[in-house]
A and B are shown apart, each in its own frame.
Chain A
Amino acid sequence: MKHCLIVDDSSVIRKVSRRILEEMTFRVSEAENGEMALSACRNEMPDVILLDWNMPVMDGYEFLTHLRRMPGGGEPKIVFCTTENDVGHISRALDAGANEYIMKPFDKDIVTAKFQEVGIM
């Protein structure tokens, strides 16, 4: 069973994402911000990370930059999932090593399509 880490400061989004991902037969863990997500990755590197952009403590962009420098941090597929939906943010995320990008709001079809695109399904 593939492991997905959801990183989002909104408990509602984490709950909705968890439901979608569990329906897609993923094992799911959660983190509320980038710092907690880095700690989770040191403990166990997930197969894929569904990553919010705007979060307190450490945002998604900063988390990704740190993650890609960690040993084994190049492995997880990164799918941004954010309300930041302009070309500038998307380009910046891809340059930092994101594999795909979901613009909120989203549904199961979109998550499925994006996960297929990055080869995790």
Chain B
Amino acid sequence: MTELDFDYLCTFLKARSGLALGAEKRYLVESRLIQVCRRFEVNTLPELVTTLKAGRNHSLENAVVEAMTTNETFFFRDKGPFDLFRDVLLPRYLNSRASARRLRIWCAAASTGQEPYSLAMLVKEASARLAGWNVEILATDISTEVLDKAKAGLYSQFEVQRGLPIQLLLKYFKQEGDQWRIAPEIRAMVDYRPLNLIKEFGHLGVFDIVYCRNVLIYFDKPTKTDVLRRLANAMAPDGALLLGAAETVLGLTDGLSPDPVNRGLYGKSAEAATTLRVAASA
């Protein structure tokens, strides 16, 4: 692949998904796109680039974006963000939303479903305290391919052993040969929709809790700032945002600020939240 071909792929991926690739990602691009070549019976990467430039093969274009934006994940990944949900956020909103009895959660980069299903299992475990509540879990991802896997809720033995406690595996999965399928009652708690974060998402409404982990790291600074600004707009005044361990809002937006106690948790800045409250009551 020539420098020009690589540059074209970088520009294409940036425009389509916001993905910012440096020269050090060249190996990753080649190894992932070679698999796309095989699937679409394209002989070489330069030929793939030529086909993309022609702009007539939309399924190939989608496959290229999906191949580069799909990342491995696992149940209860990093543990901390899920402990925060169970021990901090759920008690907080059980109290502050006691009259409305409604909680809206958004997993903005849901991938193959492990994150939303992990949250759904925690909600289910808290069902005694949530009796009579309407808990929505919206799960979105740019890749329709990973969303299909998420919707199917069928995981390999390897996948269910990474982060999923054995008690929860027994309780919420059913064995199908060598694979494990998520229980229908957990599957039904999650609404999956395709969504590209670099495009407008205001129509999704306002959320109490937003998980947007390990996706901002792939964006350049202006895209990060833009996505964070719009995420803040999609959060309730006392809403919570959870980012990945390598991500932050610092230096990117004044609308969000880190929680002083809980690492990885962000809320609306006092000023931004007040402005919203005033606007809502006006």
Contact = CB atoms under 8 A, between A and B. Distances in A.
Contacts, number: 32
Contact of A90 (B79, B170, B178): B170
A86 interface: yes
A25 B166 CA distance: 24
Given A94-B167, A116-B79, A87 B162 contact: no
B161 interface: yes
Given A85-B157, A86-B175, A87-B175, A113 B162 contact: yes
Interface string B121-158: 00000000000000000000000000000000000011
Interface in A74-121: 85-87, 90-91, 94, 100-103, 106-107, 109-110, 113-114, 116-117
Contacts of B161: 102-103, 106, 110, 113-114
B165 interface: yes
A101 B180 CA distance: 15
A4 to B, nearest CB: 18
A16 to B, nearest CB: 16
A113 B163 contact: yes
A38 to B, nearest CB: 24
Contacts of B170: 87, 90-91, 94
A117 to B, nearest CB: 5
Interface in B106-125: none
Chain B interface size band reads 10 to 19
Contacts of A107: 158
Interface string A30-57: 0000000000000000000000000000
Interface string B65-96: 00000000010000100000000000000000
Interface in B229-250: none
A114 B74 CA distance: 13
A117 B165 contact: yes
B166 A90 contact: yes
Contacts of A87: 170, 175
B166 A100 contact: yes
Given A110-B158, A113-B161, A101 B175 contact: no
A85 B165 CA distance: 15
A117 B74 CA distance: 14
B156 to A, nearest CB: 10
Interface of A: 85-87, 90-91, 94, 100-103, 106-107, 109-110, 113-114, 116-117
Interface of B: 74, 79, 157-158, 161-163, 165-167, 169-170, 175, 178
Given A85-B178, A107-B158, 8 more contacts: A87-B170, A87-B175, A94-B166, A94-B167, A103-B157, A109-B162, A110-B161, A113-B163
14 contacts: A85-B157, A87-B170, A87-B175, A90-B170, A94-B166, A100-B166, A101-B166, A102-B161, A109-B162, A110-B158, A110-B161, A113-B162, A113-B163, A117-B166
